[in-house]
Amino acid sequence: MNDSPDDVDLEHAPETVLHVGGASPYDVVVGHHLADHLPEMVGDALRVAVICPEALEELVGEVADALVESHPDRDVTVLVVPDGEEAKTAEVANSCWEALGEEGFTRSDVVVTLGGGATTDLGGFVAASWLRGVRVVHVPTTLLAMVDAAVGGKTGINTEAGKNLVGAFHEPAGVICDLSLLETLPRDELVAGLGEVVKCGFIADPEILRLVETTDPDELVASSPVLRELVERAIRVKVDVVVADLRETGGADGHPGREALNYGHTLAHAIERAEDYGIRHGEAVAIGCVFVAELAHRAAGLPREVVDRHRATFARVGLPTTYAGAGFDELLATMRVDKKSRGAVLRFVVLDDVGRPTVLSGPSEEHLREAFAAISGAAS
Ligand SMILES: NC(=O)c1ccc[n+]([C@@H]2O[C@H](COP(=O)([O-])OP(=O)(O)OC[C@H]3O[C@@H](n4cnc5c(N)ncnc54)[C@H](O)[C@@H]3O)[C@@H](O)[C@H]2O)c1
Ligand SMILES: O=C(O)C(=O)C[C@@H](O)[C@H](O)[C@H](O)COP(=O)(O)O
Ligand SMILES: [Zn+2]
């Protein structure tokens, strides 16, 4: 652990509680060393199933012990699932349902997820579907899951046809973003999380962009006060959007509503599928955002300097801005089953300017090909 004066202050800084309003309100707690919050959020449930990936088996032991200590009559079951995207399958979800059945899991029991976004997506979906919905508390352990996946209630798994095509909206009972857990996160994974943070800067909070543009990226580590500010700002962007439009039915006054959070994701999800999930989600999002900025430049007059700012900001933190894998036709076919599509009409979230997202419906294939050529170097 780094123990510069800033870090010492931060270690003792009070946690931040971001309240998420709506029909099922909950808190997102951000800070350091937050283990005590988990028993509070779980309450007096007699059975708890903790879902975590193989990679976090050591940490899950501590979490399970704390849950038993806080309530000695409680049964805690640990469900170890495959690492990363391999957990987001119907087979793995089924194995979790089988385990909950064996435990006699009832509606007063609680699922806890401990892991990255793949784990919170899978575990959230298991909780959403078991008995048509039991409580879930998320303990995200990656930056990406803290700023995005654990908040807002989208859960899901992948199918052969594409990413996140089966799922449910199921809000958590609470989210604990313990930044100390990021100490062990590999650098590439932390950088991938910055992809969603920068996305939030472009769609809603330009201060995020300013902070990224003026901070040495190497200083963005678990103990950094700037990282904490970025985490809190990105969560606020997400919370504001989901409180206004939880189920993605649309926004008001030209704002796309929850779809705004899908900025860059239409191409990103197609790339992830084409790469058989061998590319990190946050990396694909960075490429997808540059693509859609190029598209908006051609189809809707987004100024060239805003497109350039996309390339510069994602590249500054170490994210890719080009893609030379699958071809345009394969990616276009996958993009057609994106959830924003309506019938044969492809829809993209684009920007009118920084902080002003809107929807572009049915762009011409010529503009799509040109935008793809601009990120892939392929002839359009
Ligand atoms: N539901 C949503 O709103 C939402 C939002 C964004 C992303 N997502 C989904 O989230 C997933 C990506 O999440 P991710 O980037 O967290 O990837 P991930 O869950 O695959 O985790 C990345 C890797 O980090 C490891 N890891 C996790 N925490 C660690 C720690 N503290 N120390 C060391 N290693 C650790 C994991 O084992 C894994 O190998 C994608 O499936 C994406 O679709 C969902
Ligand atoms: O919360 C949302 O809404 C988002 O779109 C956030 C995205 O970062 C996230 O990757 C989400 O899982 C994508 O959702 P999908 O509906 O396109 O599957
Ligand atoms: Zn995402």
Could you tell me if 198 and 220 lie in one domain? yes
Q: Is the domain of 124 the same as that of 205? A: no
- CATH code, 272: 1.20.1090.10
Q: Where would I find the beta strands (DSSP E) of the chain?
A: 16-20, 26-31, 47-53, 75-81, 110-115, 135-140, 154-159, 162-169, 174-178, 347-353, 356-361
Same domain, 303 and 157: no
Q: Pick the catalytic residue from 32, 189, 259, 262.
A: 262
Does the annotation mark 281 as catalytic?
A: yes
- The fraction of the chain above a pLDDT of 90, given in percent, is 94
Atom of ligand 2 nearest to the CA of 164: 18
Residues 153 and 9 in one domain: yes
Q: Report whether pLDDT(2) > 80.
A: no
Is 198 found in the same domain as 150? no
Q: Give yes or no: residues 239 and 203 share one domain.
A: yes
Using the predicted structure, report yes or no on whether residue 4 has a pLDDT greater than 50: no
Structure tokens at 251: 């926004």
Q: What is the pTM of this model?
A: 0.97
Q: Which atom of ligand 1 is nearest to the CA of 143?
A: 16
Q: How far is the CA of 281 from the centre of ligand 3 (A)?
A: 7
Which residue, of 185, 218, 250, is where some domain finishes? 185
Q: Is 145 in the pocket of ligand 1 (CB under 6 A)?
A: yes
Q: How far is residue 352 CA from its own chain's centroid? A: 24
Average pLDDT over residues 66-87: 97
Tell me the pLDDT of the chain averaged across its residues: 96
Same domain, 140 and 224: no
Whether 111 and 53 map to the same domain: the answer is: yes
| For ligand 1, atom 38: residue with the closest CA | 84
Judge if 9 and 48 occupy the same domain: yes
Phi and psi based region of residue 162 (left: phi greater than 0; alpha: psi -120 to 50; beta: remaining): left
- Of 314, 291, 296, the closest CA to residue 377 belongs to 291
Query: For residues 190 and 179, is the Cβ–Cβ distance under 8 A?
Result: no
Ligand 1, atom 44: nearest CA belongs to which residue?
149
Q: What is the CATH number of the domain that holds 112?
A: 3.40.50.1970
Distance of alpha carbon 282 from alpha carbon 92, whole angstroms: 23
Ligand 1 lined by 171 (C-beta under 6 Å): no
The tokens for 84 are 């990363």
Q: What is the pLDDT of residue 254?
A: 87
333 annotated as a binding-site residue: no
How far apart (Å, rounded) are the C-alpha atoms in residues 175 and 37? 9
Question: Total domain count for the chain?
Answer: 2
DSSP 190-234: HHHHHHHHHHHHHHT-HHHHHHHHHS-GGG-STT-HHHHHHHHHH
Contact 231, 181 (CB under 8 A): no
52 and 171 in a common domain: yes
User: Residue 110 pLDDT > 50, yes or no?
Assistant: yes
**DSSP 8-state code for residue 145:** I
On whether both 154 and 219 belong to a single domain, the answer is no
Q: Tell whether 171 and 219 lie within a shared domain.
A: no
CB-ligand 2 contact for 152 (6 Å cutoff): yes
**Which residue range is the domain that position 226 belongs to?**
194-376
Let me know how long the chain is: 380
% the chain with pLDDT above 70: 96
> Residue 154 catalytic?
yes
33 appears as a binding residue in the annotation: no
Say whether pLDDT at 380 is over 60: no
How far from the centroid of its chain's Cα atoms is residue 263's Cα?
12
For the segment 269-327, what is each residue's pLDDT rounded down to a tens digit? 999 999 999 999 999 999 999 999 999 999 999 999 999 999 999 999 999 999 999 99
pLDDT digits (tens, 9 = 90+) for 326-375: 999 999 999 999 999 999 999 999 999 999 999 999 999 999 999 999 99
Contacts of the segment 296-304: beta carbons below 8 A, 24+ positions apart: 296/350, 296/351, 296/352, 296/360, 297/371, 298/367, 298/370, 298/371, 299/350, 299/360, 299/363, 299/364, 299/367, 300/350, 300/352, 300/358, 300/360, 302/350, 302/351, 302/352, 302/353, 303/353
Arithmetic mean of pLDDT, 230-249 = 98
Tell me which of 153, 185, 217 is where a domain ends: 185
Candidate from 28, 138, 144 with most ligand 1 atoms within 8 A of CB, to mutate: 144
CA distance linking residue 79 with residue 269, whole number of Å: 27
User: What does the pLDDT look like over 60-75, one tens digit per residue?
Assistant: 999 999 999 999 999 9
Active site residue 238: yes
Instruction: Tell me if 280 CB under 6 Å of ligand 2.
Output: no
Given a cut of 90, whether residue 3 has pLDDT beyond it is: no
Question: Could you please report the per-residue DSSP string of 324-358?
Answer: -SS-HHHHHHHHTTSTT-BTTB-EEEEEEETTEEE
Of 132, 159, 185, the one marking the end of a domain is 185
* 255: its two tokens: 């704002």
Q: What are phi and psi of 111, to 5 degrees?
A: -95, 135
